[in-house]
Amino acid sequence: MKKSLGAKTLIYPNPVLLIGTYDEFGKPNIMTASWGGICCSDPVAVAVSVRKSRYTFNNIMLKKAFTISIPSEKHVKAADYCGIYSGRDENKFNSTNLTPVHSDTVDAPYIDEFPIVLSCKLLQIVEIGAHTQFIGEIIDVLADENVLNEKNIPMIKDIAPILYDYATKTYYGVGDKLLDGFSVIKKSE
């Protein structure tokens, strides 16, 4: 029997995404977000939700661009740190010993140490309530060569992305492969 929990922000899993932006002085900033994901295939787009009070909010509005760097498990402490502290008060790149790199395709920094980076041009803004959803067209995806297979496809086990459980405020890693996608196809009789 299922028990009603009421309206809650629960979906499993949440990705851990670090949003990279520049402020009006060109200072690089990163913010951890777990409310985001792919939202369209044509144009290729991703959505992230940010509160208006966040430093990142104004930076995205100013530059009309952002990056999403996907951390691996070995960077879980840096990811957590960047979700707690504000770029208004400190340079989180310096505090976490991460390296900002200016994207070649959009006016935003990404994190050099993280294996996957999405460079995004602001496509649409959706005012929802407590959060604003920024939809970014993915202009380019960068991947470390050591996470790619022979067909240049990123491999999730090599990326070792972090997952977040919002209900318990806990980070997890990726588990074992369960099944190849699109393998349960009916055979024509």
- pLDDT of the residue at 186: 74
Spatial separation of the C-alpha atoms in residues 76 and 73, rounded to whole Å = 5
Is 121 in a helix, a strand, or coil? strand
pTM: 0.94
- Report the phi/psi class of residue 182: left, alpha or beta, with left for phi > 0 and alpha for psi in -120 to 50: left
Per-residue pLDDT tens, the chain, 189 aa: give them. 999 999 998 888 899 999 999 999 999 999 999 999 999 999 999 999 999 999 999 999 999 999 999 999 999 999 999 999 999 999 999 999 999 999 999 999 999 999 999 999 999 999 999 999 999 999 999 999 999 999 999 999 999 999 999 999 999 999 998 898 888 887 665
Identify whether the C-beta of residue 134 lies closer than 8 Å to the C-beta of residue 144: no
Does the N-terminal peptide bond of residue 13 adopt cis geometry, omega within 30 degrees of 0? yes
Strand 109-111 and strand 116-127: the pairing is unpaired
Amino acid at 138: I
Per-residue tokens: 169: 């405020």
